[in-house]
Amino acid sequence: MSIVDLTVHELVEKLEKKELTITEINKAYAERIKEKEPEVGAFISDLSEDALEEAKKIEEKVSNGEIKNENHLAGIPIAIKDNMCVKGTRTTCASKMLENFVAPYDATVIEKLKAENLTFLGKVNMDEFAMGASTEYSALQKTKNPWNLNCVPGGSSGGSAAVVASKMAPWALGSDTGGSIRQPASFCGIVGLKPTYGLVSRYGLVAFASSLDQIGPMTRDVRDNAMLLNLIVGHDEHDSTSIKTEKKDYTKALVNDVKGLKIGLPKEYFGEGINEEVKASIDKVIEKYKELGAEVEECSLDIAEYALATYYIIACAEASSNLGRFDGIRYGYRTKNFKTLKDIYRNSRTEGFGDEVKRRIILGTYVLSSGYYDAYYKKAQQVRTLVRQEFNKAFEKYDLILTPTSPTTAFEIGTKSNNPLEMYLADICTVSINIAGVPAISVPCGTSSKGLPIGFQLIGKHFDEETIYRAAYTYEQNTDFKGLEG
Ligand code: GLN
């Protein structure tokens, strides 16, 4: 077994016992990236050589006591989705608009990781401005699914999922507005959590839809996921939507026991459009939970069928407003082709944004325009309230809700990128969770006959990540899904 095969908690154990050094770990990852990146194409900025230099310094400081390192996380490497600001590095959002933008400050999550002395392997690919479900809408490069190079890694955090699955990083941060952590996690056979809205600061995350965006951990297993969440949560005065909560240690929730836990299965998520193999795999998960003593029963979330439409109205409305700042003057790419001020605005945006981003800006501007506002945006906000209420009602009865993460396994590159509606349907199981603001995780539960990973989703109450982790961990401990070998 080589260093890159180990989970972070295994690395930590070995560092503690002095069976490994910080430099060895970072060196192993720099070498792995050299070997695998040419086929996967996940890094927009490969910083692994810098990480190795940094690792040597950290190792020195740990040995002379300058860094206390009680939790042995100093020098553990991580990869970051390229929509989070890391001071002094490019933060492109996989867009021509920000291709040369160098972040002048650290996002709050990055500051927190730096406080623990993690090293940064690089910034990874995504759909442009996080709009998409396959990472094909990146304006900069293509990323492939390491399980099958003809398939997409999912999206929009496809780069984060691909580097964790292909062992080019032990863990990564992604962001999730409508499924962008969970769906790629499920396509790549890893664990991905979208935390409760407000649990993790969004300061320094380039905004897509501010009332839905959340940063979260993408990892090889559930324990690593809880460990990474521990590092990034917390109130931040720079983000007025971040919540003041008591500090928790999420790893304490990792107990191998689901006896008496009540799990609801909303029938709307198991119907038409869900691939048979995915369904069969989720059925096995349900049987497993029953066998382990959970009480599982069918329930209904009948507002769910409106969630996708609601999501695309709200997300596009917010995006059209958030992306207004990229005009070639205040922020972003500036056209060379102009005579008047108006030319600068028009041509910078025309040349700087890709088709999908433009589609959303147009849609969002439309639903917010006077005359259409009441019919679309206001209606969507009203439905949003109903979705929240329906989740709250379900949670009076159940501790968790279980669904597939995605209706299909990873699809082939090129099969949906010209059909936006089909691409939007890839999120049918995940978007309602962001609308309600509740937390949810995707956990791998098997592979299809074509050898592609399948994931299931566990949804919890607001700020009850612990119950999600407990159930996810119990499943993991009692089954034997293996990540990608080799
Ligand atoms: N695929 C969804 C979209 O395109 C979700 C994106 C996300 O979560 N960032 O909007």
Q: If the chain, 486 residues long, is cut into consecutive pieces of 10 residues, what is the mean pLDDT of each piece?
A: 96 97 98 98 98 98 95 97 98 98 98 98 98 98 98 98 98 98 98 98 98 98 98 97 93 98 96 92 98 97 92 98 96 97 97 98 96 94 97 98 97 93 90 98 97 98 98 98 91
Q: Is residue 178 within 6 Å of ligand 1 at its C-beta?
A: yes
Ligand 1 centroid, distance to 209 Cα (angstroms): 9
Q: Which residues are catalytic?
A: 81, 156, 180
Q: Is residue 179 within 6 Å of ligand 1 at its C-beta?
A: yes
CB 61 within 8 A of CB 75: no
Closest-lying ligand 1 atom to the alpha carbon of residue 426: 1
d(CA 229, CA 221): 13
pLDDT tens by residue, 363-375: 999 999 999 999 9
d(CA 419, CA 190): 27
| Probe target for ligand 1 pocket from 82, 93, 95, 127, with the most ligand atoms within 8 Å of CB | 127
Ligand 1 centroid, distance to 94 Cα (angstroms): 14
Which value, in Å, is the radius of gyration of the alpha carbons in the chain?
21
Neighbouring C-alpha atoms within 13 Å toward the C-beta of 212: 31
Closest-lying ligand 1 atom to the alpha carbon of residue 311: 10
Ligand 1 centroid, distance to 283 Cα (angstroms): 27
The CATH number of domain 3-244, selected from 3.30.750.80, 3.40.50.2030, 3.90.1300.10, 3.30.420.40 = 3.90.1300.10
Ligand 1 centroid, distance to 166 Cα (angstroms): 23
Q: Which of 316, 443, 314 is nearest to 388 (CA)?
A: 314
Q: Is residue 315 within 6 Å of ligand 1 at its C-beta?
A: yes
The alpha carbon of 342 is separated from its chain's Cα centroid by a whole number of angstroms, namely: 37
According to DSSP, the residues that pair with 444 across neighbouring strands are 455
Closest-lying ligand 1 atom to the alpha carbon of residue 155: 1
- CA distances for 55 relative to 24, 29, 47, 85, 226, angstroms: 9, 12, 12, 21, 24
Our CA angle for 208, 209, 214, nearest 5°, is 85
pLDDT tens by residue, 408-418: 999 999 999 98
Contacts of 390 (CB under 8 A, 6+ apart): 301, 302, 303, 304
| Probe target for ligand 1 pocket from 308, 427, 432, with the most ligand atoms within 8 Å of CB | 427
**Which residue has the least CA distance to atom 4 on ligand 1?**
132
What predicted TM-score, i.e. pTM, was given to this entire model? 0.98
d(CA 437, CA 388): 8
Q: What pLDDT sits at residue 284?
A: 98
Q: Where are the domains of the chain?
A: 3-244
Q: Is residue 356 within 6 Å of ligand 1 at its C-beta?
A: no
d(CA 75, CA 67): 11
